[in-house]
Amino acid sequence: MDLYKMTAHQLSEMLKNKEVSSTEITKSVVDRIASVDDKVKSYITVTADKALETAKAVDEKIAKGEEIAPLEGIPAGIKDNICTEGINTTCASKMLENFVPPYDAFVTKKLKAINTPVLGKLNMDEFAMGSSTENSYFFKTANPYNLNKVPGGSSGGSAASVGADTAVYSLGSDTGGSIRQPASFCGVVGLKPTYGLVSRFGLIAFASSLDQIGPLTKDVTDSAMVLNAIAGHDNFDSTSVKMDTPDYTKALVNNVKGLKIGIPEDYVGDGINPEVKDAILKAAETYKALGAEIEFFKLAASKHALPAYYIISSAEASSNLARYDGIKYGYRTENYTDLMSLYKQTRSEGFGKEVKRRIMLGTYALSSGYYDAYYKKAQQVRTIIRNDFDNAFAKYDVILTPTAPTTAFTMGEKTTDPLQMYLEDICTVSINIAGLPAMSIPCGFDKGGMPIGMQLIGRAFGEETLFKAAYTFEQNTEYHKQRPNL
Amino acid sequence: MKISKQDVLYVANLARLNVTDEEADKLANEMGSIIDFADMLSEVDTTGIEPTNHAMKMENVFREDVITGSYDRELILKNAPSQESGCYSVPKVVE
């Protein structure tokens, strides 16, 4: 079997047993990028030479008889809003087209600590705002299962690269579904960890109270391994939680007997594509057959999560993106007369349409006279949503929903009406609002052959339960073994 | 329509964005429909409900006041669109 097709845990095992070298693995994936990435276009920047250098160092370490860490020497891609020292980090924006971070993000440092050959930086919606990766300033990324369809977003490059085998795994970021929805569209596993489990230091901020970094992988085992590698406390992120993180691979147990799974009725209701709905109900049957208890329930505030999310995230974005003023770093216009016109013209030329729309919306929601009606109201609804989840988790161990209301849609289909695009996030945003962990795993294909993902939601810091539930489903189904023909 | 062109121009100035006349009309429409959607929030009874800023309980994080490493000036200035004598360069602010 071609090395690039294999999972991180398979390759890690082979590397440890000296059946293969890190250079061979990295070379195989680099060649794969060269042969298919002009079609899929996952990468904004490819750093093949650097990756091969790192792989060589790992091989030398192995040759000396030194122990290697799990995932050491396994090549990965990184979303282009996660800082990489000396390598352009663009956020898929004209504003940061030439930005070269002088430091590594916490997660980048973590990956470098285990000698990860970094393959390059992955395409995304500009500043992580979007659900299709069509908002990238540079180019659109295609879905590996159908090149005319979107890979989802905003971590579209991260999902498409894993789907297309041009990365063994990747890192993405998730503010309202940006890891899970593209994972679902590209037939891969995507995990948004609990808020605070993974440091956001060096993640270019979109909405700080919602953003979280997480892995996109070929299977659930890889997901647990990558979480092991990136979780942990960081002094540079004051929201990073001080706790001893467990070995998540220990939670990979094929057993859901007695596990209580709740399905919110609204999430398998009218707004959901029938094929997606059927796949979710079928997954529920699978769980039932494996000994889990399934119950439908009402998650009362779910309807209000989407408007609350768009108010809160846009408000935080308008504040976070105020720093792009053409002075310290990033784009600067050539057309200005004074400082104010420099600010305005720089921002008008440097940001794309969707980013400007959200800055405007957020500024409006925070402006005098509207603050109470929109921003404060949304923050209060946030409390209600959290309470709803607390109540649900008093009864259930895991909540099961679709990841997205549809499968991957055709490019251009939803770009004219922003609200239509926002509805893509309807199943995922409430999880960020409540700060909970959730993962998307493959659970079927529609008639057109496009992947369907299901979302498992857990209690805060309940990643182990998620892994157990996801692993059990995976071990008893074949969906994750399908690969696209490219 | 919920949001007027004047609203758009007012907010654009606050956000330090230039908006052309044509863009203002379009934005008024788009923002109007998003705000209409957000008005769904008014259905929710939030009497006596505390707002949540962060999903996790947040506390002030303190550290010892010790000097740690900082970045080299040249390195940081490399990303500046314009610099002079080791400083960021901006248009004249004070007459």
Provide the pLDDT for residue A418: 85
Checking if the pLDDT of B54 tops 90, the result is no
Q: How far apart are CA B14 and CA A366, in angstroms?
A: 11
Residue A82 lies in a domain: yes
> SS3 of B93, please?
coil
Per residue, the 3-state secondary structure of chain A, as one string, reads CCHHHCCHHHHHHHHHCCCCCHHHHHHHHHHHHHHHHHHHCCEEEECHHHHHHHHHHHHHHHHCCCCCCCCCCCCEEEECCECECCECCCCCCHHHCCCCCCCCCHHHHHHHHCCCCEEEEECCCHHHCCCCCCCCCCCCCCECCECCECCCCCCHHHHHHHHCCCCCEEEEEECCCCCHHHHHHHCCEEEECCCCCCCCCCECCCCCCCCEEEEEECCHHHHHHHHHHHCCCCCCCCCCCCCCCCCHHHHCCCCCCCCEEEEEHHHHCCCCCHHHHHHHHHHHHHHHHCCCEEEEECCCCHHHHHHHHHHHHHHHHHHHHHHCCCCCCCCCCCCCCCHHHHHHHHHHHHCCHHHHHHHHHHHHHHCCCCHHHHHHHHHHHHHHHHHHHHHHHHHCCEEEEECCCCCCCECCCCCCCHHHHHHHHCCCHHHHHHCCCEEEEEEEECCCCCEEEEEEECCCCCHHHHHHHHHHHHHCCCHHHCCCCC
The first and second tokens of residue A479, run together, are 């969906």
Provide the pLDDT for residue A1: 76
Distance (Å) of CA A435 to CA A174, A297, A370, A462, B52 = 11, 21, 26, 12, 11
Decide if A376 and B71 are in contact by the 8 Å CB cutoff. no
Residue A23 lies in a domain: yes
- Which residue ranges form the domains of chain B, and what is each CATH number? 5-43 (1.10.20.60)
**B residues 42-81 near A, CB within 8 Å?**
42-44, 46, 49-56, 58, 61, 63, 71, 75-76, 78-81
Provide the pLDDT for residue B59: 78
Local structure of residue B88 (DSSP, 8 states) = E
Q: How far apart are CA A201 and CA A83, in angstroms?
A: 9
Give this complex's ipTM: 0.95
Residue A415 lies in a domain: yes
Q: Which residues form the domain of A79?
A: 3-259+397-481
Decide if A241 and B46 are in contact by the 8 Å CB cutoff. no
Q: Write down how long chain B is.
A: 95
Decide if B81 and A377 are in contact by the 8 Å CB cutoff. no
Q: Which residues are paired to A45 by β-bridges? A: A121
Decide if A344 and B17 are in contact by the 8 Å CB cutoff. yes
Distance from the A139 Cα atom to the nearest Cα atom in chain B, whole angstroms: 23
Residue A40 lies in a domain: yes
Provide the pLDDT for residue A368: 86
Checking if the pLDDT of B1 tops 70, the result is no
Nearest CA in chain A to B23: A353
Residue A209 lies in a domain: yes
CATH classification at residue A57: 3.90.1300.10
Which chain A residues have a beta carbon less than 8 Å from that of B53? Answer: 209, 379
Distance from the B27 Cα atom to the nearest Cα atom in chain A, whole angstroms: 7
For chain A, residues with pLDDT lower than 50 are none
Residue A118 lies in a domain: yes
Q: How far apart are CA A188 and CA A470, in angstroms?
A: 12
Q: How many distinct structural domains can be found in chain A? A: 1
Residues of A with a known catalytic role: 79, 154, 178
Say which residue, A346 or B54, is predicted with more confidence. A346
Residue A145 lies in a domain: yes
Number of A:B CB contacts under 8 A? 164
Residue A215 lies in a domain: yes
Q: Which among B35, B39, B91 has the least Cβ separation from residue A342?
A: B91
**B residues 26-45 near A, CB within 8 Å?**
27, 30-31, 33-35, 37-44
Residue B94 pLDDT class (50, 70, 90 cuts): confident
Q: How far apart are CA A381 and CA A439, in angstroms?
A: 24
Of the candidates A313, A310, A274, A283, the residue with the CA atom closest to the CA atom of residue A401: A283
Decide if A344 and B56 are in contact by the 8 Å CB cutoff. no
Which chain A residues have a beta carbon less than 8 Å from that of B24? Answer: none
Q: Most B CBs within 10 Å: which of A194, A313, A327, A361, as the mutation test of the B interface?
A: A361
Q: Which among B15, B81, B92 has the least Cβ separation from residue A359?
A: B15
Local structure of residue B59 (DSSP, 8 states) = -
Decide if A460 and B56 are in contact by the 8 Å CB cutoff. yes
Decide if B43 and A304 are in contact by the 8 Å CB cutoff. yes
Given a contact cutoff of 8 angstroms between Cβ atoms, the answer to whether A47 and A80 are in contact is no
Q: Which among A238, A337, A360 has the least Cβ separation from residue B61?
A: A238
| Structure confidence by residue, pLDDT tens digits, A28-84 | 999 999 999 999 999 999 999 999 999 999 999 999 999 999 999 999 999 999 999
Q: Which among B7, B17, B50 has the least Cβ separation from residue A359?
A: B17
| Structure confidence by residue, pLDDT tens digits, A371-425 | 999 999 999 999 999 999 999 999 999 999 999 999 999 999 998 888 888 888 9
Provide the pLDDT for residue A357: 96
Of the candidates A403, A371, A476, the residue with the CA atom closest to the CA atom of residue A174: A403
Decide if A326 and B81 are in contact by the 8 Å CB cutoff. yes
Provide the pLDDT for residue B68: 86
